A and B are shown apart, each in its own frame.
Chain A
Amino acid sequence: DAGVIQSPRHEVTEMGQEVTLRCKPISGHDYLFWYRQTMMRGLELLIYFNNNVPIDDSGMPEDRFSAKMPNASFSTLKIQPSEPRDSAVYFCASSIGGGSSTEAFFGQGTRLTVV
């Protein structure tokens, strides 16, 4: 397996534009997470899904952020409109459930710069 795959690796956009980040989890994993990493706040959990259903979106900073998981092999994180303070590295991760917590495997991340 190629691991968790994210695209794009880098994104530079102008303030006010829509940004869509994409993630393909490891096949067979039923949990998918979106994290945001900044120097000031470290790794923040934005939202996570179980079997394609959002379980906890309490970390989503505001209504400009939305996430979807239309099927087991694809998820998107959308920011509309984007702002400079959204600049960060966004990681997608996946794991296998089964009654107890297990290792989360991270993608390579998308470095977002909003100018």
Chain B
Amino acid sequence: GENVEQHPSTLSVQEGDSAVIKCTYSDSASNYFPWYKQELGKRPQLIIDIRSNVGEKKDQRIAVTLNKTAKHFSLHITETQPEDSAVYFCAASNGFQKLVFGTGTRLLVSP
């Protein structure tokens, strides 16, 4: 089955810096790669996703890149703000709705 690895487990940056979180997946059939943000005590919520026919996708300060050959994808957050502090999860799906999540990255943005 699919296995998703996520790094780093924790990431501390200064406000205004960029943050990068990386994930690798094992199943070459996976074709959908969402990223979820979970604030303390709240539910995970989708922030951006990418499908296998696209190499990069941007939404304001957030971007995701996908390298299907290497089976890895990354989340990039630019101009970080304190409200970006949260746990971020990557996930992969092979098209049959089953989402397998990475172990999460705790991002702390210091003012």
Contacts and interface: CB of A to CB of B under 8 A. Distances in A.
A73 interface: no
Given A50-B97, A100-B31, A103-B34, A42 B103 contact: yes
A80 B99 CA distance: 26
Tell me what chain B mostly uses at the interface: helix, strand, loop, or mixed.
loop
**Interface size bracket, B side:** 20 to 34
Given A41-B103, A42-B89, A45-B100, A101 B31 contact: yes
A97 B97 contact: yes
Interface string B72-111: 0000000000000000010001111111111110000000
B52 to A, nearest CB: 10
A103 B49 contact: yes
A18 interface: no
A12 interface: no
Contacts of A104: 34, 46, 99
A109 interface: yes
Given A42-B103, A42-B104, A43-B104, A107 B43 contact: yes
